[in-house]
Structure 1
Amino acid sequence: MARLIPPFFPEGAAPGEQSVYRKLSEDETTDDWIVLHSLNIAKHVRNPEGEADFVVIAPNLGILVIEVKSHEYFTFRDGLWVLGKQKPTTRGPFKQASEAMYSIQKDLRKKKIDLRSIPMLSAAWFTATRARTMLRPTNEWSDWQVLDSEDLKNDPIGALRRTFAGGIAHLDATFNGYSYGGVGPAKATAERIAMLLRPNFEFGVVAADVRSTREDQLVHFVEEQFLALDAMADNQSVLFTGPAGAGKTLLALEAARRELTLGRRGRLICFNKLLGRRLAIDIKDPALSVGTLHSQLLALTGLKVPAGNSQLFWSTELPERAIEVLLELDEPPADFLIIDEVQDLLTESYLDVFELLVKGGLTGGRVLMFGDFERQAIYDDGRGHELLKTRMPSMPSHRLTMNCRNLPRIGFSVNFFSGLTPGYQKFRRDDDGANPVLLKYVRGQDQSALLRQAVEALRNESFDLTEIVVLSPLADGSVANTTTDFWLKSVLVQADGGTIKKGKIRYASIHAFKGLEAPAVIVTDLDRLNVPNFESVLYVGLTRATDRLYGVIEEGTGRAEMGGNR
């Protein structure tokens, strides 16, 4: 079948578009076709921007831009179109399709695609009416440009091939010998055209501020993330790996949305409690269970957290009870399983739970895992990755390398201070010239003055207090938690993963804030003597900052880090 991008139709798409999409997705004779749906056109020939309902890129046939109209009645009289209850307009579906086609053609030429032997065609598909018999001949369109409800019902792919053939015949009549020797695009060229076009329309939604206070900012995927989306579609199970900031959580959310649009029920699981709450806010669907593994197992078993909150309960007793409950079910509860922060969940007992959660189990089920095995596995003894390979030996792995979160100077600081090898090399975001700042303190000294200095510097740069997060490798003993500074005490609130309170600065431990990010981060209490696994914890803390980073570091630790004496 054709490769449809995105591999689902968006919510709210017109019924006619959904019908066309469904027919294209069901056909088995178009394996080499690529079909883009809802292609946003940033530089439209007529309007500030526009959209093409479908762009069919068919090797050895050409490129066809289709305008879909779902209206159950229409009229065309005296040069005016009336579609359903819409106002009369001279800009009918054929003109819309043509303008979109010329806009795409102009864009591709600018990107050095040779279109001389590639037919660029446009058509209108009237999915609810017999337009081919209703529309009288006119010099404003050709009969081969009309597709209708009978085409949709009887042979939609045959109708598209008819349109391609009619368009090529028209070009032959206009340019003598146009198709002599065959037409393009070649398969490789078709792939390149799709790759050049789709970054303009496909995007994911993340709840994060990237130098703004908007909670839901649209962040364009980069090319390697498109390849990751392809890997999701091409494989039943995949392990996605990459350092912090490579977009793993964004891809996990997008994977969940795509599974849900296919009518499946599943689970989106993570390790970190604050991240679990954030994910639950970002994606709400009754068919999806979202949250930490522990919270989901508590809901599954009905167990209560015992007094004392012992590690034995979380690592052994809870998963064992969950396995008992799952074994009593007629079938696993999930059609798909998506696991973020998988590096922190790789134990025998947890993998046994995953085996029973998803239909087909780990080796035969729909399982997508996202993890950072660089330095972010701060709860792992190093054997988790090997254990996963043993349990799922045939699972393909896809590595993400582009840093999509941090400004380059923050990324390079992470390379240096955490000893990341080979470290970040590619960044999606452009450098703005601002270096991370280190503020040194003497061991035992109150860091409140330095913390306030960092906050005031960020406020002078117009950062809102809600954009600032204070992190520490410590929990109860952090400077944010123990400060005696009256003003800091009045604005600091512990991060809870929920709505950010206006006029407040969030603080948390680095461990608790794993998987999350903020525009400006101040990392305090950086003292190697007080922090086990210092480089890994430092790596997690520093990579939370998207735009500005301050470190409040013990002077001896600072000298060791700067001098490389780790």
Structure 2
Amino acid sequence: MMPAYCPEGSPPGERALYSALQSAHGTDGWIVLHSLGIADHVRQVEGEADFVVIVPDRGVLVIEVKSHRAINRLADGLWKLGNDAPTARGPFQQASEAMYSLKRFLGKRGVDLRSIPMVSAVWFTHVRARTTLPSTPEWHDWQVLDSEDLRNGAAPSVLRTLDEGAKHLDDKIRYFSYSGVGPDAAMSARIASLLRPRFEIATVAGDVRRARNTELITFIEEQYLALDAMADNLAVLFTGPAGSGKTLLALEAAQREIAQGHTGRLLCFNKLLGRKLSSDLAGPAGLTVGTLHQELLRISGAKVPPAAGAAFWERDLPEAALEVLLDQPDLAGDFLIVDEIQDMVSDPYLDVLDLMVTGGLNGGRVLLFGDFERQAIFEPGEGRRLLGTRISRLSSHRLTANCRNLPRIGYQVNLFSKLQPGYRHFRRQDDGVDPTLVPYRAGADQSPLLVQAVRALRDEGYELNEIVVLSPLRDGSTAQTTPDSWLRQVLHPADDRHGRPGQLLHTTIQAFKGLEAPAVVVTDLDHRLVPGFESLMYVGMTRATDRLFAVMESGTARIIVRGTP
């Protein structure tokens, strides 16, 4: 399918046909072009073909799609489709003109169409047009497809139309199918590349980086509405999937509170994110920035014991900080802002957060940001319900637009992670490059695949320090164990530093939660290796702003892509 997703705003009939063709069986080798612009149109200044379906050894079908639920031919011969104004140029004429425009274009570029059936048809996706449209010399019966064809199978309907079209051409053109009909696989690819060529316009790498950074820090209308919600409500929970701008809003919220002369805290759960937030907001008096655990250590004065386990972090440390906060109520701030709240929704953590803000969680200035769909990888469960019991006046504001990822990454995340409702709106403009799924055999060394991915990104102009390698494995990841000498030289743990020139950073998906990188390679994607695999995969894939490589075990890939083992 070209493009690999159906663009937002496409008419319902086009979306329905796109989905039907995308999921159709028996279409190996087919090439489907959707919404193909025609600059040199035979009739108009410019035009468009809704779909061009190229089927090897069968032909090329140009389809005009009509989504209308009412079709009328008026007494004066004008077409009346739904609520559209009457027009003398009917859908069959539109389809024919698009087809002849493309034939002329291909002919000028040396494509021999003498034995390639290239025909047009109209697909009425919401009505039973085949049984209701009368026979007329203006079109052939086989050029009509309708809702029943869509329901019974898009692929058989396309093949039927091509076969009938080829038979018609064979009756009219002598020796048309004498030696068989095309196009073959090579010619199919050539036709597709001529109609929708891939191309690259070189830009200076620095300009690309500046443009990306500008895109990622500019608020859109939805974020402005969220900021308004901050001002109008004392306690707000902002929810949304990865990439919807929650951390960006948390930073802005902290700056606004400090600008008003207030004091308080901006806390998160993830250590690397805490360091980034501290770096981004270094300096303002009256603002404490860091992770929840860092703040609990600071308040309590406790020391981390050797080999500290979950009991220390989740019970002992909160209890120690709670005792200090009860004895020193002046440690509470005017506001409390928490990012990654989905990982802190437990009674011990909420007890200490309650004492960190004047008025407590239920009466103080509290702004919470979280993703309760798939990012609660540390403490899944009924987090929102528990928050509701602690903050009775908590208002909720949902963020839906993806501000981070290019659309093709977001749509791939929808597919792989089965997000409901999933990403629908994207702020950034797509650049036409699909994420890459790289399968590997269970137990095999993934190093060659990782090298291949990194070199492909380097060839695109990405520096090593713009690429991050992630894994769901805390121990034994490909980056940790690779025998490849070049990888061992350039790979460095992310830990507490930004990538320096020539360094390729690696870390776990869990540690990189809340952060992003221009290019991400996720390795060790095997659903049998870690619990909560789909959540981890979702978090890992959504870290990439521009380029994504997913190195996935073959069986897992089959399950994810096809939904079956």
TM-score normalised according to structure 1 size: 0.62
CA 342–330 in structure 1, closer or farther in 2 if over 3 Å, else same: closer
Is contact 1:210–1:519 with CA below 8 Å preserved after alignment? Answer: no
CA distance in 2, matches of 1:216, 1:415: 24
Contact 1:409 1:431 in 2 (8 A): yes
CA 409–521 in structure 1, closer or farther in 2 if over 3 Å, else same: same
What are the equivalent positions in structure 2 for 1:81-480 lying under 5 Å apart? 211-212=208-209, 217=214, 219-284=217-282, 285-480=284-479
Contact persistence 2:372–2:383 (CA under 8 A): no
Q: Quote the Cα distance in structure 1 between the aligned partners of 2:258 and 2:268.
A: 18
Shift of 1:286: 3.2
1:220, CA displacement in angstroms? 1.3
Q: For the Cα contact (< 8 Å) 2:524–2:553, is it kept in 1?
A: yes
- Asked whether 1:508 is paired with 2:482, we answer no
CA contact (8 A) 2:235 2:393 kept: no
| Residue 553 (str. 1) matches residue 552 (str. 2) | yes
Instruction: Please report how far the alpha carbon of residue 333 of structure 1 lies from its aligned counterpart in structure 2 after TM superposition.
Output: 2.5
SS at match of 2:248: helix
Provide the rounded CA distance (Å) in 1 between the counterparts of 2:207 and 2:540.
17
2:466–2:518 Cα contact (<8 Å) kept: yes
Measure the CA separation in 2 of the matches of 1:312 and 1:482. 30
Is the 1:319–1:353 contact (alpha carbons within 8 Å) kept by the matching residues of 2?
A: yes
Unpaired runs of 5+ in structure 1? 1-208
Equivalent AA in structure 2 for residue 279 of structure 1: L
* Structural RMSD (CA): 1.6
Cα deviation, residue 473, structure 1:
0.3
Letter in 1 for 2:356: L
Q: Provide the secondary structure at the position in 2 that maps to 1:225.
A: helix
Contact 1:239 1:369 in 2 (8 A): yes
Give the superposition deviation at 1:210. 10
1:338 partner SS: strand
- Aligned AA (1:488): L
Task: For residue 289 of structure 2, give the secondary structure of its aligned residue in structure 1.
Answer: strand
Q: CA deviation at 1:330?
A: 4.0
User: Does the residue aligned with 2:455 lie in a helix, a strand or coil?
Assistant: helix
TM superposition shift of 1:423? 0.4
Distance 1:226 1:552 in 2: 37
The C-alpha deviation readout for 1:417-475, integer Å capped at 9, x for no partner, is 01111100000011110000011111110000000000000000001111100000002
Do the aligned residues in 1 keep the contact of 2:326 with 2:355 (CA within 8 Å)? yes
Shift of 1:265: 1.1
Change (3 A) 1:376 1:303: same
The CA distance in 1 between the partners of 2:353 and 2:238, in whole Å, is 17
2:329–2:355 Cα contact (<8 Å) kept: no
Inter-partner Cα distance in structure 1 for 2:396 and 2:546: 30
Provide, for residues 48-84 of structure 1, a one-character-per-residue CA deviation record: whole Å limited to 9, x for no partner: xxxxxxxxxxxxxxxxxxxxxxxxxxxxxxxxxxxxx
After superposition, the C-alpha distances for 1:199-230 in whole angstroms (9 at most, x for unaligned) are xxxxxxxxxx9951799757211101000000
Q: CA deviation at 1:287?
A: 1.4
2-structure distance, mates of 1:210, 1:509: 30
- Counterparts of 1:277 and 1:554, CA distance in 2: 33
Partner Cα distance (1:504, 1:564) in 2: 37
Q: Which amino acid aligns with 2:440?
A: Y
Q: Distance in 1 between matches of 2:301 and 2:487?
A: 40
The number of residue pairs the alignment matches comes to: 358
Contact 1:211 1:519 in 2 (8 A): no
Provide the rounded CA distance (Å) in 2 between the counterparts of 1:332 and 1:358: 8
Query: In 2 relative to 1, CA 501–214 (structure 1 residues): closer, same or farther, beyond 3 Å?
Result: farther
Q: In 1, Cα distance between the equivalents of 2:447 and 2:428?
A: 32
Alpha-carbon distance in 1 for matches of 2:220, 2:293 = 33
Q: Distance in 1 between matches of 2:554 and 2:324?
A: 53
Percent identity, please: 59
Distance 1:320 1:531 in 2: 31
Following the alignment from structure 1 to structure 2, what is the Cα–Cα distance between the partners of residues 254 and 476? Answer: 36
Please give the alpha-carbon distance, in whole angstroms, between the structure 2 residues aligned to 1:413 and 1:216. 23
Question: Is the contact between residue 470 and residue 506 of structure 1 (CA under 8 Å) also seen in structure 2?
Answer: yes
Q: TM-score, normalised by structure 2?
A: 0.62
SS at match of 1:357: coil
The one-letter code of the counterpart of 1:231 is A
Distance 1:290 1:215 in 2: 26
